[in-house]
Amino acid sequence: MCVEIKHQCVGGHQHAQFSNLNNILPASVIDQVYCPECQDKPEFDAATMLEDNGWIIKYDMELATYLLEKHGIDKELVTPEFIFDNRYSTWQGMSPTDMEESIRERQKIVELAKVDKQKYIETMKSWSIDRMNAFIAAGWRKAKAVQAV
């Protein structure tokens, strides 16, 4: 089971939605989030931060290392990239705002089902493919990982 985790960026401009795999790590493992609009970003620290398409996630690495080590993961493996890429604490969806945007976009398409079921199916299929291609083109980390598979 995954619990929805929402963090407002430090500058107060946007919210990012996270998912933590099997709740192995608590929401508090995400120390700070910076969106592209945040002005007072700290100097990037690769030991505690991950950058994804202009967004920065700062993790509480002490907490993450401790809890993941309790699950049998060698502390030498625990990096921000490891945490993110292995879904221990990552975007809910392909980007920080993917889930909210997806719901809004999908609601418009669902209206087609009431009028033309075949058109609805075709539109939904092309929408999801186009959406993933847009994430890949924009350079989102999770989308690029899906593409590589």
Range(s) of the domain holding residue 135: 98-148
Kindly state whether residues 118 and 58 are assigned to the same domain. Answer: no
C-alpha span between 62 and 59 (Å, rounded): 9
- pLDDT at site 2: 56
Together in a domain, 42 and 115: no
Q: What is the pLDDT of residues 11-49, one digit of tens each?
A: 999 999 999 999 999 999 999 999 999 998 999 999 999
* Residue 148 confidence (pLDDT): 75
The residue assigned the tokens 């609805």 is: 120
Convert the pLDDT of each residue in 25-34 to its tens digit: 999 999 999 9
Domain identity same for 60 and 86: yes
In the prediction, which pLDDT does 20 show?
95
* Same domain as 64, residue 103: no
Question: What separation, in Å, do the N-terminal and C-terminal C-alpha atoms of the chain show?
Answer: 25
- The pTM assigned to this predicted structure is 0.91
In angstroms, the CA 22 to CA 8 distance is 22
Domain count along the chain: 2
* Residues 22 and 1 sit within 8 Å (Cβ to Cβ): yes
What was the pLDDT predicted at 1? 53
